[in-house]
Amino acid sequence: MTRSTLCYLRNKGRTLMMLRNKKHGDVNSGKWIGVGGKFESGESAEICLRREVREETGIEPDNFVFHGIIDFISDTAEDEEMYLYSAEISSEMAEAVTLNAEDEGTLRFIPDDEIMSLPLWEGDRVFLDELLSGRKRISYEFTYKKDRLVKSRKVLIRNILFDLDGTLIDTGEGIMRSAQYALESIGIEVSDYRELSFFVGPPLVHTYTQRYGLDMDTARRLVTKYRERYNDIGLFECEPYKGVIECVQDLRDKGYRTFVASSKPEAMCRRLLMHFDMLKLFDDVAGATPDGKIDTKSEVLYELFGRYPADTPGFAASSILIGDTRYDIAGANDVGISSLGVSYGYGSAEELSSLGAASIVSDISEITDSLIQGL
3-state secondary structure 271-291: HHHHHCCCHHHCCEEEEECCC
Q: Which domain-ending residue is among 154, 188, 216?
A: 154
The answer to whether residues 149 and 16 belong to one domain is yes
One domain, residues 282 and 229: no
Q: Whole-prediction pTM value?
A: 0.86
Beta carbons of 375 and 65 less than 8 angstroms apart? no
Q: Could you give the angle at the alpha carbon of 304 between the alpha carbons of 314 and 291, nearest 5°?
A: 155
Last residue of a domain, one of 154, 183, 201: 154
CATH of the domain at 17: 3.90.79.10
First to last CA, the chain: 28
Judgement on whether residues 150 and 283 belong to the same structural domain of the protein = no
Query: Are residue 295 and residue 340 in the same domain, yes or no?
Result: yes
Looking at residue 366, its pLDDT comes to 95
CA dist., res. 328 & res. 102, Å (int): 37
Please tell me the distance from the alpha carbon of residue 10 to that of residue 59, in angstroms, as a whole number. Answer: 13
Answer yes or no: are the C-beta atoms of 65 and 85 closer than 8 Å. yes
> Are 116 and 142 found together in one domain?
yes
| Residue 204's CATH number | 1.10.150.240
Q: 328 and 187: one domain?
A: no
Q: What ranges in the chain are assigned the alpha helix state H? A: 45-57, 91-95, 122-132, 172-184, 204-212, 216-230, 244-253, 266-275, 297-306, 314-317, 326-335, 349-354, 367-372
Q: What is the pLDDT of residue 258?
A: 98
Give buried/exposed letters for 114-133 (b at 16+ CB in 10 A, else e): ebeebebbebbebbbebbbe
User: Are 163 and 300 found together in one domain?
Assistant: yes
- Tell me the sheet residues that pair with 143: 73, 151
Question: Do 287 and 341 reside in the same domain of the chain?
Answer: yes
- Choosing from 207, 236, 265, the residue where a domain stops is 236
Q: Please tell me whether residues 255 and 345 are part of one structural domain.
A: yes
Whether residues 206 and 272 fall in one domain: no
| Domain identity same for 7 and 144 | yes
Q: How many domains, the chain? A: 3
> Based on the domain organization, do 232 and 251 belong to the same domain?
no
pLDDT in tens, the chain (375 residues): 899 999 999 999 999 999 988 777 778 889 999 999 999 999 999 999 999 999 999 999 988 999 999 999 999 889 999 999 999 999 999 999 886 655 678 899 999 999 999 999 999 999 999 999 999 999 999 999 988 999 999 999 999 999 999 999 999 999 999 999 999 999 999 999 999 999 988 889 999 999 999 999 999 999 999 999 999 999 999 999 999 999 999 999 999 999 999 999 999 999 999 999 999 999 999 999 988 899 999 999 999 999 987 665 578 889 999 999 999 999 999 898 999 999 999 999 999 998 889 999 999 999 999 998 877
- pLDDT of 290: 85
Our measurement of the distance from residue 13's CA atom to the centroid of its chain's CA atoms, rounded to an integer in Å, reads 26
CATH number at residue 367: 3.40.50.1000
Q: Residue 90 in contact with residue 61, Cβ under 8 Å? A: no
Domain boundaries, position 207? 172-236
